[in-house]
């Protein structure tokens, strides 16, 4: 909800509430954001001076406030305080954070059928509490519905006769919101709970299409359409169109009751939230990220014929690509051949497929016994032979390394022997050493050199 700064003419304190911002202005007066000494925030409406001088208005205002005090319900803005004897009467209701339904649709566009049905079911419960208290809202419209984090809330209930008149004014024109007023309000007839049902139907149609079911135009044109023409529901989803058409019936007796409307909207919301085929929507409005991704709730498991079909499909997917089911990890696999195997981990150890007794069996891997140094010991077969365990790859690597190192050492030794072998092997005699002359005569290898 948009907030504006206080103007110079606005009061700063009303009753025990300190005012902080302007929330808006309407036909009855100005609405402020205020708070009490404990910090509780309220929406405080101060009545216009001209209405405050009207004694008939004061009397009716007092009756409406008295009835509003009796309303108990989570879908309404609770009345906190009121002063009917002040120079300018005022009342304070619980402050509801969040945008109005009108602003939500205006910014984000029409809502999905599941969202519309869910909001409509919550609003129907709120109207049921209002009607049980003997109050008729008389001005239910998208701008009087706030979308709080805890769900939709109805505001301006029971005291909206000056902004959503249930009768004609003394000049012969209806005051309110054309397109959301019921025909009996335009005619000046008595209002009943069915009046709010008509307004709720028009509000939900607006939520589906972002437009009034009676189009646009001047107040006179809109009021004429409300009384004489049928509502246009071309853009309303098929799941909601029949129910909203019954809400917008011209005769109040043809409209559903508040309780019936609430139950039917809950059914539609539950059905639309899981999609036409019974599965959850991928982008639905469920209360959790898992359901938005299309996961199935534990309580939404199929039953009856659908359960049998679901089980058969799971069995086909599980057995696809293999001729035998995989053994359960918590119990040993059953023997596949006729040879009896001794009990113990060695007899149930996992092996590669090996023909035994004329059949090929597949074994699940099991733990191998280990030696002192942690190496695995070979496993004894039923025929008495020995075969390596599952670490044959490591054994092969060690053998290869040993062979390579042995060959390299052998080649090194052979190369060293080859360097000395030609002189002895070919019979070539080395020249005898010559003693150097004492006179410094050049030897065969130069001056002063000795025979090596």
Residues taking part in catalysis: 139
Total length of the chain = 452
CA 336, distance to chain mean position in Å, is 49
| Contacts with 28 (C-beta within 8 Å, 6 or more apart), sequence order | 45, 47, 48, 51, 159, 160, 162, 163
Q: How, if at all, do strands 79-83 and 29-35 pair? A: unpaired
- CA–chain centroid gap for 164, Å, is 38
For 259, what's the count of Cα atoms within 13 Å in the CB-facing half-sphere?
Answer: 1
Please count the other Cβ atoms lying within 10 Å of the Cβ belonging to residue 311.
11
Phi-psi region of 98 (alpha: psi -120 to 50; beta: other; left: phi over 0): left
Of 320, 378, 324, 321, the C-alpha closest to 351 is: 378
C-alpha distances in angstroms, 255 versus 118, 262, 267, 307? 20, 13, 18, 39
Q: Is 175 helix (H, G, I), strand (E, B) or coil?
A: coil
C-alpha angle 179-25-58 in degrees, rounded to nearest 5 = 90
Residues 6+ away with beta carbon under 8 Å from 225 = 214, 215, 217
Residue with tokens 């599952």, as numbered in its chain: 390
Q: Are strands 79-83 and 145-148 parallel, antiparallel or unpaired?
A: unpaired
Q: Where are the alpha helices (DSSP H) in 133-237?
A: 183-187, 193-209, 219-228
């Amino acid at each position: 909800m948009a907030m504006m700064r206080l103007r110079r003419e606005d009061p700063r304190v009303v009753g025990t509430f300190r005012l902080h911002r302007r929330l808006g202005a309407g036909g009855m007066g100005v609405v402020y954001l205020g708070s009490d000494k404990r910090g509780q925030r309220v929406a405080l409406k101060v009545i216009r001076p001209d209405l405050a001088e009207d004694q008939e208005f004061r009397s009716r205002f007092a009756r409406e406030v008295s009835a509003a005090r009796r309303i108990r319900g989570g879908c309404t803005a609770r009345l906190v305080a009121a002063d009917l004897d002040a120079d300018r009467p005022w009342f304070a209701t619980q402050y509801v954070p969040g945008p109005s339904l009108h602003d939500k649709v205006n910014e984000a566009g029409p809502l999905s059928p599941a969202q519309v049905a869910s909001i409509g079911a919550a609003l129907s419960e709120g109207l049921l509490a209002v009607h049980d208290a003997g109050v008729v809202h008389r001005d239910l419209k998208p701008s009087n519905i706030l979308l709080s984090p805890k769900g939709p809330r109805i505001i301006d209930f029971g005291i909206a006769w000056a902004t959503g008149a249930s009768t004609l004014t003394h000049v012969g024109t209806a005051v309110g919101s054309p397109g959301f007023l019921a025909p009996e309000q335009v005619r000046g007839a008595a209002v009943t709970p069915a009046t709010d049902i008509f307004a709720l139907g028009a509000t939900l149609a607006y939520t589906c299409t972002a437009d009034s079911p009676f189009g646009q135009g001047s107040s006179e044109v809109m009021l004429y359409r409300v009384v004489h023409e049928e509502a246009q529901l071309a853009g309303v989803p098929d799941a909601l169109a029949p129910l909203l058409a019954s809400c917008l019936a011209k005769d109040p007796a043809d409209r559903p009751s508040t309780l019936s409307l609430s139950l039917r909207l809950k059914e539609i919301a539950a059905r639309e939230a899981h999609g036409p085929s019974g599965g959850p929507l991928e982008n639905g409005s469920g209360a959790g990220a898992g359901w938005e991704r299309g996961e199935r709730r534990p309580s939404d498991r199929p039953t009856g014929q659908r359960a049998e079909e679901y089980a058969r499909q799971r069995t086909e997917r599980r057995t696809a690509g293999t001729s035998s089911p995989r053994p359960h990890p918590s119990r040993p696999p059953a023997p596949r051949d006729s040879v009896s195997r001794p009990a113990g981990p060695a007899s149930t150890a996992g092996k590669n497929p090996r023909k035994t007794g004329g059949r090929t069996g597949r074994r699940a891997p099991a733990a191998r016994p280990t030696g002192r140094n942690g190496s695995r010991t070979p496993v004894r077969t039923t025929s008495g032979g020995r075969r390596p365990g599952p670490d044959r790859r490591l054994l092969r690597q060690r053998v290869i390394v040993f062979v390579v190192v042995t060959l390299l050492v052998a080649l090194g030794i052979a190369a060293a022997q080859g360097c000395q072998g030609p002189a002895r092997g070919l019979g070539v005699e080395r020249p005898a050493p010559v003693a150097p002359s004492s006179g410094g005569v050049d030897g065969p290898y130069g001056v002063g050199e000795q025979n090596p």
